A and B are shown apart, each in its own frame.
Chain A
Amino acid sequence: MKSKKVRVLAIPYAVWIVGFTLIPLMFVLAKAVTSPAGGFTFDNLLAIFDPVNRKSLILSLLLAFISTVMCILISYPVALILKSSKIKNKKILMFILILPMWMNFILRILAVQMLLSKNGIINHFLTMAGLSPINIINTPYAIVFGMVYDYLPYMMLPVLNCILAIPDDIIEASRDLGANRLTVLRRIIIPLSLSGIGSGITMVFVPSMTEFVIANILGGGKIQLLGNIIEQEFSVTMNQHLGSGLSVTLMIFVLLTTLLFGRHEDTNKGFVL
Chain B
Amino acid sequence: MIGKTLRKIYIGLVILFMYAPIIVLIVLSFNNSRSRVVWGGFTLKWYSALFSSSSYMNAFYTTIILAVLSAGIATVIGLAAALGITAMRKRNIQIMLFFTNIPLVNADIVTGIALMLWFVRFLPLGFMSVLVAHVTFNMPYVILCILPRLDAMDMHQFEAARDLGAGIRYAFWKVMLPDLMPGIFSGFFMAATMSLDDFVITYFTKGPGVNTLSTKIYTEIRKGIKPEMYALSSILFLLVLIILILINVTGNNASRSINKTIEEK
Candidates A28, A104, A193, A259; contact of B196 at CB < 8 Å: A104
Interface residue tally on B, bucketed by range = 35 or more
Among A18-26, A44-52, A131-139, A172-180, the one that faces the other chain is: A18-26
Interface pairs A-B: 5 shortest CB-CB: A10-B84, A13-B81, A111-B21, A9-B84, A24-B114
- A contact face: mostly helix, strand, loop, or mixed: helix
- On chain B, the residues within 8 Å of A85 by CB distance are 7
| Residue among B20, B21, B86 with the highest chain A CB neighbour number at 10 A | B21
A206 vs chain B, min Cβ distance (A): 5
Complex: A121 Cα to B214 Cα, angstroms: 25
- CA distance in complex: A149, B199 (Å): 19
CB within 8 A of A95: which of B25, B214, B244?
B244
Interface pair A10/B85, CB less than 8 Å apart: yes
The residues of B that contact A244 with a CB separation of less than 8 Å are 110
Which B residues are CB-close (under 8 A) to A271? none
In the complex, the answer to whether A251 meets B102 with C-beta atoms within 8 Å is: yes
Q: List the count of A-B residue pairs having beta carbons below 8 Å apart.
A: 267
Instruction: Give Cα distance in the complex from A70 to B240, angstroms.
Output: 28
Chain B residues with CB under 8 Å of A93's CB are: 11
Nearest residue (CB) in B for A85 is B7
Known contacts A115-B21, A195-B152, A255-B98: A106-B110 contact under CB 8 Å = no
Known: A16-B139, A149-B18. A9 touches B80 (CB 8 A): yes
Residues from chain A with Cβ under 8 Å of B22 in the complex:
100, 103, 108, 111
User: Does A203 contact B102, Cβ atoms closer than 8 Å?
Assistant: no
A34 within 8 A of B: no
Q: Which residues on B sit within 8 Å (CB–CB) of A74?
A: 14
Closest Cβ neighbor of B18 among chain A residues:
A100
Chain B residues in 8 Å Cβ range of A207: 104
Chain A residues near B97 (CB-CB < 8 A)? 258, 262
19 A-B contacts, Cβ less than 8 Å apart?
A: A1-B158, A3-B87, A8-B84, A9-B81, A17-B102, A21-B136, A24-B114, A81-B10, A99-B240, A99-B241, A103-B237, A149-B17, A152-B17, A154-B190, A157-B190, A165-B149, A165-B183, A231-B107, A251-B105
Q: Mark A167-200, 1 if CB is under 8 A from B, else 0.
A: 1000000000000000000000000110110110
Docked-complex contact B101 and A255, CB < 8 angstroms: yes
